[in-house]
Structure 1
Amino acid sequence: MTCHICNTPSSESFQVKVLFKYDVTYYRCHECGFIQTETPYWLPEAYESAITSLDIGLVSRNLHWAPTVEAVIRKWFRPEGPFLDYGGGYGLFVRMMRDRGFPFIRLDQYCENLFAKHFDVTDQPEVKNYELITAFEVFEHLANPVGTVEQMLQAGKSILFTTKVLPNPNVTPETWWYFIPETGQHVALYSLESLHRLAKRFGLQLYSDGHDLHLMTAKPISPTWLRWFTHPRKVAFYNYLHRYPAKSMLNDDFQKVYDSVRKQPLKDLI
């Protein structure tokens, strides 16, 4: 099998039971360390529920990363946006960032929008170029990472994302929880080298904290600052000192949604 990242041969590494019933082979690239499954024919079944019952960290994850994204925007991007949250799930992160005054829009083809209704891509005028695209816990779901990143970069030139980096080259599902074969959704697992190579394919640099947070961009970024922004107390201090005079969009958003639905039957509002 050919590596999705660097197009060199990948060798069979191990086989795991996925969704408790499919014997699935995982392949490891000896050049970049990227791990991928065989062609994931089981994905329609895996996404019958887009957010699995195992994702109990969804809320805490959004609470943790919102201040970091705010600081990254203030440091290197235009706060006026617009911004796109790719694979935005229930819309919680979009709502949180709009409440902070940053015009985020949601895109997710699998998941129902619960918290940011009327702020999906399909609800908005077409945007030629998003100031920044965020993608939290998305990359490990990509059956075609290069193709998906190419699509994302057609919408914006910088991607801030999270995915956990392989802790060692010989990791297996028995030694690392992040494979989560029970859900069948994690089909791509990245070494730091594979992420660097992925960025390089598009002429971009990858900046990373070495663990979770990564920024793919052509902008000159200080790795030290990026790592600084992953520490809750430090990022809170930075945001306090560099307060952008952003007004929460909550009231304006409420009025916009209210005006759009006020003439609809009650059943359509629930």
Structure 2
Amino acid sequence: MHCKICEGESKLLFDSKTTILQRYQIHYYQCTACQFIQTESPYWLNEAYASAITSLDIGLVGRNIGISRQVSSLILSFFNKTGTFLDYGGGYGMLVRIMRDLGFDYYRYDTYCENIFAKHFDFEDSPVSKYELLTAFELFEHLDDPAAELEKMLQLSDSVFFSTELIPNRPLSSARDWWYFTPETGQHIALYSENALRKLAQKFNCNYYTDSHTLHLITRRKLNPLLFRLSLKSKVALMIAKAQSRKSLLQKDFDYIKNSIASNENTLRSPDLQ
């Protein structure tokens, strides 16, 4: 196996195979150069994504509420707050709805999951083709080809802010040694070290910033690493968000959706003139 990040040699990670989806026996491999962990070719993905959001993801609501504060703080600290933003792999659209409620012009992109909370604010509804910031939370560990997917993201924005747990700095003798493998779902097929993410950024001549735990930014901009980490701390993020709060788009969105529905109804009632 060759590493999908740096193309280095990847060796078997565990002595024995791991059971995923409670039925398939598979191997994990780890790069000897950048420590990136990948599975064998993931032939089971169609079954793994029979439901786009796994039933084990019970932290989805709390995670979106918490991450919205940190995204707000990051935007207010380093980006144009009046710009347009995109949540890539946005799932049910919960984060998009929260961010719009907070006053940010946010849209959703996801080809696998139904948009429940942010209808009318999908990628195809967006007025722009280039975004001030692209966010991608709990997505990178699902990517079969991280470099190819990041290339697509960087065509949409010069900055990609995302979450994924970093591989722990301790020996791993089986998938049971780290909860983030989640073999029960079969969806986590790419796991990253800080070194792997830095090399991934360098592939596209980008800078890499991290909180050294879960949150990461790959960007063509140059930021102060200390200020980046500081802006993501919960108390600081809350202070920044409160100090620079924006007018919610909730009423504006409600009027827009209401008018769109009325317009569609009028179109359906119009007689056929041909």
Shorter-chain TM band: over 0.9
Among 177, 180, 183, which residue is 2:182 paired with? 180
Q: Alpha carbon RMSD of aligned pairs, Å?
A: 1.3
Are the aligned partners of 1:33 and 1:169 in contact in 2 as well (CA < 8 Å)? no
Counterpart-to-counterpart distance in 1, 2:232 and 2:79: 17
Among 238, 241, 247, which residue is 2:240 paired with? 238
Counterpart-to-counterpart distance in 1, 2:241 and 2:59: 24
* C-alpha displacement of 1:44: 0.8
Question: CA offsets, 1:11-55, max 9 Å, x none?
Answer: 111221111111111110010000000111111111110111100
Are the aligned partners of 1:204 and 1:218 in contact in 2 as well (CA < 8 Å)? yes
Counterpart-to-counterpart distance in 1, 2:232 and 2:39: 30
Tell me which amino acid in the other structure corresponds to 1:13.
L
> Could you say which residue in structure 2 is the equivalent of 1:43?
45
Tell me which amino acid in the other structure corresponds to 2:11.
S
Number of residue-to-residue matches in the alignment: 262
Tell me which amino acid in the other structure corresponds to 1:157.
D
Are the aligned partners of 2:134 and 2:159 in contact in 1 as well (CA < 8 Å)? yes
> Could you say which residue in structure 1 is the equivalent of 2:160?
159
Counterpart-to-counterpart distance in 1, 2:57 and 2:219: 29
Are the aligned partners of 1:34 and 1:191 in contact in 2 as well (CA < 8 Å)? yes
Q: If the length of structure 1 is used for normalisation, what is the TM-score?
A: 0.94
> Could you say which residue in structure 1 is the equivalent of 2:136?
135
* C-alpha displacement of 1:67: 0.9
Counterpart-to-counterpart distance in 1, 2:264 and 2:48: 35
User: Which runs of structure 1 show a deviation greater than 3 angstroms over 4 or more consecutive aligned residues?
Assistant: none
Question: CA offsets, 1:83-142, max 9 Å, x none?
Answer: 0100001100000000111111000111111100111112334x2311000000000000
* C-alpha displacement of 1:169: 5.5
Counterpart-to-counterpart distance in 2, 1:29 and 1:160: 24
- Do structure 1's residue 30 and structure 2's residue 32 form an aligned pair? yes
Larger Cα-atom Rg:
2
> Could you say which residue in structure 2 is the equivalent of 1:268?
none
Tell me which amino acid in the other structure corresponds to 2:80.
R
Q: If the length of structure 2 is used for normalisation, what is the TM-score?
A: 0.92
Counterpart-to-counterpart distance in 1, 2:264 and 2:237: 43
Q: Larger deviation: 193-202 or 222-231?
A: 222-231
Three-state SS of the structure 1 residue aligned to 2:177 is coil
Q: Larger deviation: 215-224 or 97-106?
A: 215-224
Q: Larger deviation: 114-123 or 255-264?
A: 255-264
Counterpart-to-counterpart distance in 1, 2:207 and 2:176: 33
Counterpart-to-counterpart distance in 2, 1:21 and 1:148: 28
> Could you say which residue in structure 1 is the equivalent of 2:6?
6
* C-alpha displacement of 1:263: 5.4
Q: Unpaired runs of 5+ in structure 1?
A: 266-270
* C-alpha displacement of 1:264: 5.3
> Could you say which residue in structure 1 is the equivalent of 2:272?
none
Counterpart-to-counterpart distance in 1, 2:22 and 2:208: 36
Three-state SS of the structure 2 residue aligned to 1:262 is helix
Three-state SS of the structure 2 residue aligned to 1:260 is helix
